Structure 1
Amino acid sequence: MIYTLFTWLLLIISSPFLWFLSFRQKFIRSLRARFFLYQNPKPKFAKYHFHACSFGETCAIEPLVKELKDCRVSVITQTGFDKAKKYADCRFLPFECFLPFWLSRSDVLIVFEAELWLNLFRVAKSNGSKTILLNARISDKSYKNYLRFKFYYKWLFKYVDLVLAQSQTDKDRLTNLGAKNIKVVGNIKSANLPKPSKHYKKPDKRVIIIASSHENEEKNLLANLKLNHNDQLFIVPRHPERFNSVYNIIKDSIKNISFERFSDNMGLNSQIILVDTLGELVNLYAIADIVVLCGSFEKGIGGHNPIEAAQFKCKILSGEYIHNQKDLYKAVSGIEFCSYENVWQKINSNLKSTKIINMCDMDKIIKEIKG
């Protein structure tokens, strides 16, 4: 196939760069597995093959995998792999050129959100699999780019049997890109609310969380820091490779305020705590009063899921850049929007508690997958 030959050519050209990049700690396993098949053998047969990108997506599919049982999972990122391997047989998804001989048969392929790889669907169909695009979405920002390559997506959707879209807007956009047999079922992340894995005692303080923060967000949110003596601030970076740099940002930004790493003490005693371990965010949401939901203050990220915090009726503050999460934001009432300049003024105002107002039906999705 011409497309597969084209992807082989791309791999040959980019291999030196990819090999060099693979020595970075963030990519040391994922790039070598995906582009050089290092320690990434062909998966065994399973009735259901789920493909998801990273940590958040692998969290979202976990209840489905456990319910359907005979499942395997493929991922793109290291954090996604670390999460998925805890509940299923997991592999890194190789680059397109490897899939014709790497992808073994499954009865059903379920691809999560926007992981639109042509050979993944094409090879699965040639293996006799039913193919499903789950939780499908096309963000406002990315839609124009999708349209530029409409010919590619029209080709790809020939191999997709069923599309389960998040919203009517997503359905309309997917239809324009060539998708068929589309059903609107809502966002699965609104039906799959992660529950605390640990239960911390609520401090006799106002607990504020800067949640899922990205580069520049910690520095700018701390620039106008106004903590009351009865406040406790948790800072939870989105990516673990930034833990050390965020530690230095906090150290340089504060004066005369007690500060510690979460991993050093676990006692939750200091006024500011850097949460430098994965999997703690939902545990902290359960005791939070106010959540500053990041990924929304800097252009180009698109926001993060507000429902995880809203299930605990936290008061939520957000930046304006939420283009990747608009449907989830619509499912939550009471979110306040702010900027770097007025976030602390908002925190010390009369905020309302949030409430989830639109839930997705997980049983309906399972029924669709089973056919």
Structure 2
Amino acid sequence: MVAIYYILALIAWLIGAIFLLPLSLKKKYRSAIPARFFLFNNPKFKDAKVHFHACSYGEIQALTPIMRKFEDKAISVVTHTGFEAAKKISQNSRFLPFEIFLPFWLKKSKILVIFEAELWLMLVFVAKLNGSRVILINARISDRSYARYKKFSFFYATIFRYIDQVYAQSDLDKERLMSLGAKDIKVAGNVKSAFASQPGKIYKKPKERVIVLASTHEGEEKMLLENLKLSKNDKLVIAPRHPERFASVGEFVKEWSHKHGFEFDKFSQNGNFNRQITLLDTLGELVNVYAISDVVVLGGSFVSGIGGHNPIECANFNPILVSGEHVFNQKALFRLVSGVKFIKTNELNDVLSLYKERARIINKADITVIIDDIRSSYEQ
């Protein structure tokens, strides 16, 4: 099975390389594609006892409190934003290469810790071949993903053959993982709920009500602004999910602001919230803004296909928390938060006028068992 998979991956790479080269010229992929698919500026790790692997920025942020407990570590990621976040934790950070390179690139560690759904066959196979212990933490399978996983259950059964321990988010996730062939599963709760997010900077809370449109996607800014009536006692912060959209969202919001007589500014230019509308166009600042927010409207949930975003980080600061109804990827996390108001966009004004309940986290995971597991291998 592994040999056949490797051959198919090699064929896919040979065909796909033609299309990947021009794609790598785009700003979004300029670092990740050359590093992952051509090993450009992506050397092997330095020797490390524990190797953490996660996909992107959000996953690295969630893993950070665990990773900081281990000095001798390596971190691999998939996305550019994830890489930038990982480098702040350890210089021994790399992009995870495409699977055909892993037999020659991956170095032995005492333990490989994989976060959530990063299930790459060659990664776990080569790690086990090198003598590493492999654990999967924060494992979950959403309603939408489960049907797709079941169609390829034979493939996932092969992957789970090389994973020694699985820590699932819930009993339902445990059942689904077992049906796909996972063994030695423990329910540990959601890692993202275990650590209270703390602001890295403290900003003075404006006297006005602070409304944050957080982690918005294409089309959501327009939908929400069309259904939002700001008063002189409101300040609005707009935080697009992806940095490559900062410029285009900035142009749109600037035009909208001028049309409606609001002062507009970019946070990257002045670093404050003095204007009535501010575009948060700097990574790593959203948690600092949550700390001074009164209302958070969580994006990725008003358009179909995204599935919502993690509500835990903002709920930690107890704002009024508003979400769209499309949260199929985050149902497990929303069950850990009380007071969330789910709405359609045309209900936004009424909710901001009438809804007063504050969100709060009602079930924080105890992940001591995960840390102890990693440490037992780390100290051998």
Do the two structures share a fold, i.e. TM-score over 0.5? yes
Report the counterpart of residue 47 of structure 2 in structure 1: 45
Verify: 1:115 aligned to 2:113, yes or no.
no
Name the counterpart of 1:136.
139
Note the aligned Cα RMSD (angstroms). 1.0
Deviation of residue 253 (structure 1)? 2.6
User: Residue 267 of structure 1: CA displacement?
Assistant: 2.8
* Alignment of structure 1 residues 143-292 onto 2, 5 Å: 143-254=146-257, 255-292=260-297
Is the contact between residue 77 and residue 96 of structure 2 (CA under 8 Å) also seen in structure 1? yes
- TM-score, length-normalised on structure 2? 0.96
Q: Give, in whole Å, the separation in 1 of the partners of 2:227 and 2:309.
A: 23
TM-score by length of 1: 0.98
1:207 and 1:193 map into 2 onto residues whose CA distance is: 21
Residue identity opposite 1:14 in structure 2: G
Q: Secondary structure at the match of 1:26?
A: helix
1:88-141: per-residue Cα shift (whole Å, max 9, x none)?
Answer: 110000011110111010000001000000000000000000000110011111
**Counterpart position of 1:353:** 358
SS at match of 2:14: helix
Name the counterpart of 1:9.
11
String of CA shifts for 1:309-340, please: whole Å, max 9, x gaps: 11111110000111111111111110001111
Deviation at 1:2, TM superposition (A): 2.3
Partner Cα separation in structure 2 for residue 323 and residue 247 of structure 1: 29
Contiguous gaps of at least 5 residues in structure 2: none
Question: What are the superposed Cα offsets for residues 73-96 of structure 1, whole Å, 9 maximum, x if unpaired?
Answer: 000000000000111110000011
What is the rounded CA distance, in whole Å, between the counterparts of 1:274 and 1:343 in structure 2? 20
Deviations 1:323-368 (A, max 9, x none): 1111111111100011111112111113201111100113222012
* 1:307 match: 312
**Where do 4+ consecutive residues of structure 1 move more than 6 Å?**
none
Unaligned runs of 5+ in 1: none
Letter in 2 for 1:277: T
Per-residue deviation, residues 167-223 of structure 1 (Å, max 9, x unmatched): 111111110110000000011000123210100011111000000111111010011
1:332-347 aligned within 5 A: 332-347=337-352
Equivalenced residues, count: 371
Amino acid at match of 1:243: F
Distance in 2, Cα, partners of 1:292 & 1:346: 11
List per-residue Cα deviations over 1:277-322 (Å, max 9, x = no partner).
1111100110100000111111111111111111111110000111
**1:368 corresponding residue in structure 2:** 373
> Given that residues 302 and 321 in structure 1 are in contact (C-alpha distance below 8 angstroms), is that contact kept between their aligned partners in structure 2?
yes
Matched residues in 2 for 1:272 and 1:208: separation?
Answer: 10
Whole-Å Cα distance in 1 between the matches of residues 16 and 272 of structure 2? 47
Counterparts of 1:350 and 1:267, CA distance in 2: 28
Q: Give the % identical residues.
A: 53
